[in-house]
Amino acid sequence: MLIAVFLPLIFACLIPFLSKWKQKVHTGWFVLPIPFSIFLFLILKVGKQFSPISQSYAWIPSLNINFDLYLDGLGLLFGLLISGIGTLVVLYSIYYLHKTEQLSHFYVYLLMFMAAMLGVVFSDNVYALYSFWELTSFSSFLLIGFWNHRKGSRYGALKSMLITVFGGLSLLAGLILLTIVTDTTSIQAMIDQKDVILNSNYFGWILGFLFLGAFTKSAQFPFHIWLPDAMEAPTPVSAYLHSATMVKAGIFLVARFLPIVSLSEWFFFIVSGIGIITLCWGSFIAVRQTDLKGILAYSTISQLGMIMAMLGFGTDAAIFAAVFHILNHATFKGSLFMVAGIVDHETGTRDIRKLGGLMTLMPITATLALFGTFSMAGVPLPFLNGFYSKEKFFKTSLELEEASGIVQALATAMPVLAVLGSIFTFVYSMYLVFGTFRGEYKEDELPQKPHEAPFGMLISPMILVIGIIVIGLFPHLVNGSFLAHAAEAISGHESHAHIKFWHGFVPPLYMSLAVVALGTLLVITRKRWNSIYNVVPGTLTFNRVYDWLVDRTELFSSKITKTYMTGSLKLYVQLILIAIILGTISMLLITNGLNLEATDLARIRLPELLVVGMMVLASIATIFTNNRIAAILILGVVGYGLSILFVLYRAPDLALTQLIIETVTVALFLLVFMHLPKLEKRNESKGSIVMNATIAISFGAMMTIVGISSYTSKWFESISGYFLETSKSLGGGSNVVNVILVDMRGLDTLFEICVLGIAALGIYGMIKLRRKKEAK
Q: Mind listing the pLDDT tens digit for each residue in 3-22? A: 899 999 999 999 988 888 87
Residues 6+ apart with CB under 8 A from 542: 222, 224, 225
H helices of 565-685, in order, are 569-590, 606-623, 628-648, 652-673
Enter the DSSP assignment of 186.
B
Which H/E stretch holds residue 750? helix 746-775
What contacts 431, CB < 8 A, 6 or more positions away?
A: 287, 295, 352, 523, 526
Q: How confident is the model at residue 324 (pLDDT cuts 50, 70, 90)?
A: very high
Query: How far apart (Å, rounded) are the C-alpha atoms in residues 497 and 80?
Result: 21
Report the pLDDT value the prediction gives residue 590, as an integer from 0 to 100: 83
At residue 725, the pLDDT reads 84
Average pLDDT in the chain: 89
**CA–CA gap between residue 43 and residue 478 (Å, rounded):** 12
- pLDDT of the residue at 681: 67
Measure the CA–CA gap between 115 and 123, rounded to whole angstroms. 12
pLDDT digit string (tens) for 86-106? Answer: 999 999 999 999 888 888 899
DSSP per-residue letters across 477-529: HHIIIIIHHHHHHHHSS-------S---S-HHHHHHHHHHHHHHHHHHTHHHH
Residue 281 predicted with pLDDT over 90: yes
**Section 415-428 average pLDDT:** 95
Flag whether pLDDT at 665 surpasses 90: no
Query: What are the pLDDT digits (tens) for 532-573?
Result: 988 888 777 888 889 999 999 999 999 998 888 888 888 899
The pLDDT of residue 128 is 93
Spatial contact of 386 and 300, defined as CB atoms under 8 Å apart: no
The third-level CATH classification (topology) of the domain covering 569-722 is Four Helix Bundle (Hemerythrin (Met), subunit A) (1.20.120)
Domain limits, the chain: 266-534, 569-722, 723-776
d(CA 176, CA 126): 8
Q: What is the pLDDT confidence band of residue 32, given thresholds at 50, 70 and 90?
A: very high
Residue 680 pLDDT greater than 70, yes or no? no
d(C-alpha 663, C-alpha 73), whole Å: 68
Summarised one tens digit per residue, pLDDT across range 335-359 is 999 999 999 999 999 999 999 999 9
- The identity of residue 544, as a single letter, is R
- DSSP one-letter code for 443: G
Q: What is the dihedral of CA 44, 45, 50, 56, to 10 degrees?
A: 150
Q: Is the per-residue pLDDT at 23 higher than 80?
A: no
pLDDT of residue 377: 94
Q: How far apart are CA 35 and CA 460, in angstroms?
A: 14
Q: Specify which of 183-192, 471-480, 623-632, 709-718 reaches the highest per-range mean pLDDT.
A: 183-192
Which pLDDT does position 650 carry in this prediction?
Answer: 83
pLDDT of residue 58: 86
In contact, 269 and 405? CB cutoff 8 Å: no
Q: Is 217 exposed, middle or buried (0-12, 13-18, 19+ CB in 10 A)?
A: buried
* Of 458, 445, 487, nearest in space to 372 by CA: 458
Residues 201-252 have pLDDT tens digits of 999 999 999 999 999 999 999 999 999 999 999 999 999 987 778 889 999 9
- What is the share, in percent, of the chain residues with pLDDT greater than 90? 56
Residue 487: alpha-carbon gap to chain centroid: 26
Distance CA 345, CA 334 (A): 16
| Band of pLDDT at residue 583, cut at 50, 70 and 90 | very high
Which pTM value belongs to this model? 0.83
3-state secondary structure of 71: strand
Q: Are the C-beta atoms of residues 396 and 318 closer than 8 Å to each other?
A: yes
User: What one-character DSSP code corresponds to residue 677?
Assistant: P
Integer angstrom CA distances of residue 84 from 36, 135, 311, 749: 7, 20, 24, 48
Residues in the chain: 776
End-to-end CA distance of the chain: 62
Determine the Cα–Cα distance for residues 552 and 129; give it in Å rounded to an integer. 33
Where is 70: in which H helix or E strand?
strand 65-71
Give the span between the Cα atoms of 486 and 75, in whole angstroms: 8
Q: How far apart are CA 517 and CA 502, in angstroms?
A: 19
> DSSP assignment of 12-69, as one string?
HTTHHHHGGGTTTS-HHHHHTHHHHHHHHHHHTT-STT---EEEEEEEEGGGTEEEEE
Q: Give residue-wise pLDDT tens across range 141-171.
A: 999 999 988 999 999 999 999 999 999 999 9
